[in-house]
């Protein structure tokens, strides 16, 4: 008898992966009901108190911000646009080129659970300052900057820059030997949103500040520290062993 997995079996396993992610997300949302502890206190960090207001409409600062957005948008290359479209998904595994080909879905389940829970915890932290300042996006001021579908949320701060910064800083905790490459890609996630007309540069800078603040709050939480330690152990156990060259 052939005991190897058949193609239909592998296809079935792949079909279960989105369901598993949805189940993990449900657990994160319902954690307090199950006796668990959310990683962040409500509305912490407070983006409205932390961040400066964006440039005022019709100000010289706003005009300069828009001019920068136009210049970056017009100078983008096809390769940069393709990269921006890919990393806009905010998949954790977009960091694979920085970490290594072994960084694949399903290999580090504890790590994935950790990041899914963080993703759920920080939605309000990002949306509250967006809804407070209600900044229009660049393509709403200049229709020539519209590329792809419009966004349903406001522009400041950039959610992609916030999440990309947060992802990068936490991945550095798990893969410290890849620190520089990981941090560089985290910055790229935010900047790529300027390339495709979705954000002003100042939106991206604010997102980096908010992302750093989120990580500081997370690292001060004992439950997060415990789960991060478990994810670190998992990564260390499952990392490929380097073979010394002769």
**Upstream peptide bond of 184 is cis (omega within 30 degrees of 0):** no
Termini Cα distance of the chain: 42
d(CA 108, CA 66): 41
In a domain, 105, yes or no: yes
**Does some domain include residue 211?**
yes
> Which pLDDT band, with edges at 50, 70 and 90, does 238 fall under?
confident
The range of the structural domain enclosing residue 221 comes to 76-235
| Least trusted range by pLDDT, from 1-10, 141-150, 175-184, 194-203 | 1-10
Give the pLDDT score at 18: 53
Rg (CA), the chain: 20
Residue 76, number of CB atoms within 10 A of its CB: 17
Is residue 217 in some structural domain? yes
Residue 44 lies in a domain: no
The count of structural domains within the chain is 1
Q: Does the structure show a pLDDT above 60 at 22?
A: no
Mean pLDDT of the 186-206 span? 98
- In this model, does residue 79 exceed pLDDT 50? yes
pLDDT at residue 7, rounded to an integer: 45
Average pLDDT of the residues in 44-62: 97
Assigned domain for 42 exists: no
Contact status, residue 208 vs residue 158, Cβ threshold 8 Å: no
Lowest mean pLDDT across 24-33, 71-80, 131-140: 24-33
Does residue 194 lie within any of the structural domains? yes
Q: Is residue 57 part of a domain?
A: no
Kindly indicate the confidence band of residue 230, based on its pLDDT and cuts at 50, 70 and 90.
very high
Query: What CATH number did the domain enclosing 91 receive?
Result: 1.20.144.10
Of 173, 196, 168, nearest in space to 184 by CA: 168
Within a domain: residue 28? no
């Amino acid at each position: 008898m052939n005991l190897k997995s058949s193609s239909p079996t592998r296809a079935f396993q792949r079909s279960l992966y989105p369901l598993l992610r949805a189940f993990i997300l449900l657990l994160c949302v319902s954690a307090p009901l199950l006796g668990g502890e959310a990683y962040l206190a409500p509305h912490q960090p407070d983006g409205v108190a932390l961040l400066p207001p964006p440039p005022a409409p019709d100000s010289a600062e706003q005009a300069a911000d828009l001019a920068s957005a136009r210049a970056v948008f017009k100078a983008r290359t096809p390769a940069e646009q393709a990269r921006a479209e890919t990393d806009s998904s905010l998949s954790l595994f977009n960091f694979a080129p920085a970490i290594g080909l072994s960084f694949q879905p399903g290999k580090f389940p504890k790590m994935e659970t950790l990041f899914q829970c963080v993703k759920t915890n920080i939605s309000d932290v990002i949306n509250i300052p967006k809804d407070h300042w209600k900044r229009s996006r660049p393509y709403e001021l200049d229709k020539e900057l519209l590329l792809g579908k419009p966004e349903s949320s406001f522009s400041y701060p950039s959610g992609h820059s916030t999440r990309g910064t947060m992802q990068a800083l936490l991945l550095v905790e798990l893969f410290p030997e890849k620190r520089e490459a990981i941090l560089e890609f985290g910055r790229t996630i935010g900047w790529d949103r300027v390339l495709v007309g979705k954000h002003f540069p100042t939106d991206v800078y604010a997102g980096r500040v908010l992302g750093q603040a989120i990580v500081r709050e997370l690292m001060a939480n004992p439950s997060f520290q415990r789960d991060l330690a478990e994810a670190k152990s998992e990564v260390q156990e499952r990392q490929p062993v380097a073979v010394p060259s002769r």
